[in-house]
């Protein structure tokens, strides 16, 4: 099979399932990650036979894609903050907008991998990622803020297994804790940063979402009851209020509809410098604040 033929087969398989330009991105990812050629190489040499092509394996890939299985699960990994993360059923696939959350924290805390304690000595910056999933936020922060001590919390043992793999493969040391945030006591050591991308999609939106999300990605990490859409933010803010040092930062990724409610939640709990930050689509997707 030639490069052009393989690309076209993938594209025609997924085109009925997704809006443009997603089928193009999926076809390009399969070509690059599974068969080792990119769009530029295909354009220059479209009739070159695909090296090591196996018809049975290719048929299995097409079958998975035709059923709506996310291409990231099919190839087994994705990229986030210029790092590679293993992903499979059991963890959410990290989204590009979450990178903006990481970059905001790095911009504000990146030079503070070691901070001064109350006695004038030096200690590591302490960061906690609540609801870590694949570990994308925690691992990226550990990689990008030298000297930081990062703890990652999740209720899912499957997610913690994958997150631990990602910490190892990216060469960082992250402490992983299995815990339900609603039964989670603030840590004994004070924290400088609390960050979370918790479940925030109301159940009523499930019917409008693609099967690539609803059938394969973990509902536990996605959906919240319509009657209490910011319940996770409220609980995490309570934990952060107890755990953060004075001046410590709290950072959330949020549903654009509830950004103002989350900001009010922080203000009501005494956080100051509460900000709503828009993403690259000009949607309010990050809420942050400082402990007074």
CATH 1.10.8 occupies which residues in the chain? Answer: 3-75
Query: Long-range contacts of range 223-231, CB-CB < 8 Å, 24 or more positions apart?
Result: 223/199, 224/199, 224/200, 226/202, 229/200, 229/202, 229/255, 229/257, 229/258, 229/261, 230/200, 230/258, 230/261, 230/262, 230/265
Question: Which fold is adopted by the domain 3-75?
Answer: Helicase, Ruva Protein; domain 3 (1.10.8)
CATH 3.40.50.150 occupies which residues in the chain? Answer: 94-291
Token pair of 201, please? 């999609």
pTM of the model: 0.94
Token pair of 240, please? 């952060």
Which of the four pLDDT bands, split at 50, 70 and 90, describes residue 117?
A: low
Question: Which fold is adopted by the domain 94-291?
Answer: Rossmann fold (3.40.50)
- Cβ-based neighbour number of residue 4 at 10 Å: 15
pLDDT tens string 25-71: 999 999 999 999 999 999 999 999 999 999 999 999 999 999 999 99
pLDDT tens string 152-201: 999 999 999 999 999 999 999 999 999 999 999 888 889 999 999 999 99
């Amino acid at each position: 099979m030639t490069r052009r033929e393989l690309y076209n087969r993938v594209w025609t398989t997924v085109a009925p399932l997704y809006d443009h330009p997603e089928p193009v991105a999926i076809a390009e990812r399969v070509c690059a990650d599974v068969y080792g050629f990119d769009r530029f190489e295909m354009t220059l040499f479209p009739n070159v036979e695909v090296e090591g092509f196996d018809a049975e394996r290719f048929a299995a890939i097409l079958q998975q894609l035709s059923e709506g299985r996310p291409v990231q699960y099919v190839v087994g990994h994705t990229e986030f903050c210029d790092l590679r993360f293993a992903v499979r059923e059991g963890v959410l696939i990290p989204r590009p907008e979450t990178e903006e959350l990481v970059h905001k924290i790095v911009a504000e805390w990146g030079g503070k991998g070691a901070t001064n304690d109350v006695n004038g000595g030096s200690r590591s910056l302490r960061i906690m990622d609540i609801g870590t999933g694949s570990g994308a936020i925690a691992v990226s922060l550990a990689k990008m803020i030298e000297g930081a001590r990062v703890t990652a919390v999740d209720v899912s043992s499957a997610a913690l297994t994958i997150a631990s793999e990602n910490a190892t493969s990216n060469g960082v040391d992250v402490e992983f804790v299995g815990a339900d945030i609603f039964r989670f006591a603030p840590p004994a050591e004070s924290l400088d940063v609390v960050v979370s991308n918790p479940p925030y999609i109301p159940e009523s939106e499930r019917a409008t979402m693609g099967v690539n999300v609803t059938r394969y990605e973990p509902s536990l990490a996605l959906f919240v009851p319509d009657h209490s859409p910011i319940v996770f933010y409220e609980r995490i803010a309570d934990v952060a209020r107890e755990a953060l040092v004075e001046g410590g930062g709290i950072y959330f990724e949020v549903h654009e509809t509830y950004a103002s409610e989350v900001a009010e939640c922080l203000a009501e709990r005494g956080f100051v410098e509460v900000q709503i930050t828009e993403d690259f689509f000009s949607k309010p997707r990050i809420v942050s604040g400082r402990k007074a």
